[in-house]
């Protein structure tokens, strides 16, 4: 006989920074909350991020990943929220006003019925084949996150001589980490014309360790039938296609890839949660409520963030409102789409619920192209400008945050067709 169904208010899926913040916020509202974690320990990917740079905004100090995770875990434990580790959600059934989760755990099948779900499932790494690197398939090809886990958690050294493709933050951090462990890092190759990592990481991880960064350069193929023997690298043209005449043979035994993160939303798909084609995460309103009633989402499964502090912030919002949804029943939402214009790659949230008691919103955006001039971000509704913010420089890798405060929120006309966010370049002023 299977264990009886357990009834709770809120289930949080994932115990990374988003899930932990959500669980704490949910419990603080008085909701009976449980966190499900498929790995052996809570903390998500923070566990393996032993470098510092976490928590500048949330804790006003610089912490390592495990330190940051520890604080969040302690908070959740203090709030008496159980974190069930080794608990894998195999499927979710959508009932009337509840969700039934079927979980696999070493103590048997656990069935949990929840009024609200918070998806905090994070993201996965894009692999070599998903960026169409060809050639052989030997041992010695790692995603940066896997290499990081092998070194920092398992104490294993992935190779002796490495080439890194992709200058996202994980790629940069791994260049430094490998160097510290005595691995010869031949260089970091970036297909774009600039690094997609934070500026501080380029300084601290590459320049301080004399690791060369090759921009507009990519790995074209891998050589070696058993273990990597070498990679071919080549410069790329404006369309990011390799220029074969520039191809070079670089002997190495390891290829590390930091070529992008993909939000993990397989459970969201199974619940038919609408997904934003740009972020690859669920479409959410300003309280992180997806377009399926009762399903909330936060953190990197919504959109890939650059700072953990933002991930935690979205978790807190999602947790708080998931609890409210579960406890107070289901109020109708008045969703107003947020449209974007100009150089904006995306804006999250994609919707504002104007009937929500939450009268302010944290918004995040990324630009498509670098802007090195002063830019204004204008928030308009029904042809009327509600707010205007100024940015000095904007880079695609950097996620930007702005807030719609209570005053502005209240000035959104009801009903309104949409809220539009546009980026406008400011003409140079003549002081």
Partner 1 sequence: MATSLEKIQSVMTKKYGSALEISTPGSSIRLEGSLDTYQMKVEAGWTAARFGYKAVINDITVPDVQEETIACSSYVDNVLERLHFDVAIIGGGVIGTSIARELSKWNMKIILIEKEEDVGVHTSSRNDGMIHDGFAAKPGTLKALYNVRGNRLWEPLASDLGIGFKRPGSLLLFSNPAMKALYPLMADRAKRNEVDGWEFWSRERVIAEEPYVTSKQHGGFFLPSAAVISPYKATVALAESAMLNGAKLMTSTCLTGFEIEHNTIRRLHTNRGICTASIVINASGNWADIIAEMAHDRFFSLHHRRGTECILDMESSRWQQHIMSMPSILQVREKTKGGGIVLTEEGNVLIGPTAEEHPGREQYTTSPSDMIKLKKHFTLNSKLSMDQIITYFCGVRPCTYEEDFIVGPSDNISNLIHVAGIQSPGLASAPAIAADVAEMVIAKAKTFMEIQPKANWIPKRTADIITRRLSLEARDELIRLDPSYGKIICRCEQVSEKEVVNALHSTLPATSLDAVKRRTRVQMGRCHGGFCTARCIDIIARELHIDACDVVKKGPDSQICKGNMSHDETNRIC
The residue ranges that bind partner 1 (CB under 8 A) are: 2-3, 38, 86, 88, 90, 102, 104-109, 111, 124-125, 127, 129-130, 132, 134-140, 142-143, 145-146, 149-151, 153-160, 181, 221, 225-227, 253-254, 266, 269
Please list, in sequence order, all residues whose beta carbon lies within 8 angstroms of the beta carbon of residue 211, skipping any fewer than 6 positions away: 175, 176, 179, 185, 187, 188, 205
Least distance to partner 1 from the beta carbon of 153, Å?
7
In the complex with partner 1, the residue whose CB is nearer, 195 or 220, is: 220
Question: Minimum distance between the CB of residue 182 and partner 1, rounded to whole angstroms?
Answer: 8
Q: How many CB atoms lie within 10 A of CB 244?
A: 10
A 10 A CB-CB count for 62 gives 12
- What whole-number distance in Å separates Cα of residue 99 and Cα of residue 240? 45
CB of residue 239 to partner 1, shortest distance in Å: 13
Least distance in angstroms from the C-beta of 343 to partner 1: 24
Closest alpha carbon to 39 in 86, 95, 102:
86
CB of 208 to partner 1, least distance (A): 23
Peptide bond into 430 cis (omega under 30): no
Judged by beta carbon, residue 97 or residue 227, the one nearer partner 1 is: 227
Give the shortest CB-180-to-partner 1 separation in angstroms.
12
CB 99 within 8 A of CB 5: no
Cα-Cα-Cα-Cα dihedral of 327, 96, 286, 52, to 10°?
80
Nearer to partner 1, 48 or 356 (CB): 48
- Closer of 143 and 216 to partner 1 (Cβ): 143
Cβ nearer to partner 1, comparing 42 with 55: 42
Shortest spacing between CB 189 and partner 1, in angstroms: 17
* CA dist., res. 223 & res. 231, Å (int): 6
Q: Please name which of 61, 18, 8, 9 lies closest in space to residue 43, comparing C-alpha atoms.
A: 18
The DSSP 8-state label assigned to residue 37 in this structure reads -
CA 232, 238, 240, 244 torsion: positive or negative?
negative
Q: Which two tokens stand for residue 105?
A: 């755990």
Nearer to partner 1, 160 or 203 (CB): 160
Name every residue whose Cβ is closer than 8 Å to that of residue 16 and which is 6 or more positions away in sequence. 43, 44, 45, 46, 120, 122, 299, 300, 311
Rounded Cα gap, residues 359 and 411, in angstroms = 11
Closer of 278 and 389 to partner 1 (Cβ): 278
Name, in order, each residue with C-beta under 8 angstroms of 85's C-beta and a sequence gap of 6 or more.
15, 37, 39, 40, 41, 42
The count of C-alpha atoms lying within 13 angstroms of the C-alpha of 354, restricted to the half-sphere facing its C-beta, is 19
For 317, 379, 391, 420, 423, the CA distances from 373, given in Å and listed in that order, are 33, 19, 8, 22, 12
Is the omega angle on the peptide bond into residue 415 within 30 degrees of 0, that is, cis? yes
Nearest to partner 1 of 157, 345 (CB atom): 157
Nearer to partner 1 by Cβ, of 96 and 154: the residue is 154
What is residue 428's DSSP assignment?
P
44/397 with CB nearer partner 1: 44
Tell me how far, at minimum, the Cβ of 354 lies from partner 1, in Å: 34
Smallest distance from partner 1 to CB 241, Å: 9
Nearer to partner 1, 242 or 349 (CB): 242
Q: How far is the CB of 360 from partner 1 (least distance, A)?
A: 36
Beta carbons within 10 angstroms of residue 87's beta carbon: 22
Q: d(Cα 31, Cα 296) in Å, to the nearest integer?
A: 15
**DSSP code, position 47:** G
Provide the minimum distance between the beta carbon of 105 and partner 1 in the complex, in angstroms, as a whole number: 5
């Amino acid at each position: 006989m299977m264990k009886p169904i357990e009834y709770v208010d809120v289930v949080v899926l994932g115990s990374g920074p988003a899930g932990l913040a959500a669980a704490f916020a949910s419990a603080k509202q008085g909701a009976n909350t449980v966190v499900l974690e498929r790995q052996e320990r809570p903390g998500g990917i923070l566990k393996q991020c032993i470098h510092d740079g976490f928590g500048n905004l949330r804790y006003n100090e610089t912490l390592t990943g495990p330190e940051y995770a520890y604080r969040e875990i302690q908070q959740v434990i203090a709030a008496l929220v159980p974190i069930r580790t080794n608990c894998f959600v195999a499927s979710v059934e959508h009932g009337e006003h509840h969700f039934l989760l079927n979980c696999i755990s070493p103590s048997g099948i656990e069935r949990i019925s929840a009024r609200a779900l918070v998806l905090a499932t994070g993201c996965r790494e894009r692999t070599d084949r998903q960026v169409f690197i060809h050639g052989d398939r030997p041992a010695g090809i790692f995603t940066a996150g896997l290499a990081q886990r092998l070194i920092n958690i398992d104490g294993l050294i992935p190779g002796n001589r490495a080439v890194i493709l992709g200058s996202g933050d994980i790629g940069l951090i791994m260049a430094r980490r490998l160097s510290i462990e005595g691995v010869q890092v031949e260089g970091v190759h970036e297909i774009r014309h600039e690094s997609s990592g934070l500026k501080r990481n380029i300084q601290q991880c590459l320049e301080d360790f004399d690791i060369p960064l090759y921009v507009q350069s990519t790995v074209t193929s891998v050589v070696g039938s058993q273990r990597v023997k070498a990679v071919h690298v080549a410069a790329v043209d404006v369309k990011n296609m390799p220029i074969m005449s520039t191809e070079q043979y670089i002997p190495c035994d390891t290829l590390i890839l930091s070529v992008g993160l993909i939000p993990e939303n397989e459970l969201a798909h199974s619940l038919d949660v609408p997904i934003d084609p740009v972020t690859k995460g669920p479409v959410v309103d300003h309280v992180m409520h997806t377009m399926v009633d009762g399903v909330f989402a936060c953190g990197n499964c919504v959109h890939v963030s650059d700072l953990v502090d933002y991930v935690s912030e979205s978790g807190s919002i999602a947790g708080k409102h998931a609890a409210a949804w579960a406890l107070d029943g289901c109020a109708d939402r008045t969703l107003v789409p947020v449209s974007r214009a100009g150089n904006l790659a995306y804006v999250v949230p994609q919707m504002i619920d104007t009937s929500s008691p939450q009268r302010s919103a944290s918004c995040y955006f990324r630009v498509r192209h670098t802007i090195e001039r002063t830019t204004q971000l204008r928030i308009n509704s029904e042809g009327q400008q509600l707010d205007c913010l100024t940015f000095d420089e904007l880079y695609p890798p950097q996620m930007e945050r702005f807030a719609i405060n209570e005053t502005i929120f209240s000035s959104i006309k009801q009903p309104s067709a949409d809220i539009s966010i546009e980026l406008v370049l400011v003409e140079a002023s003549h002081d």
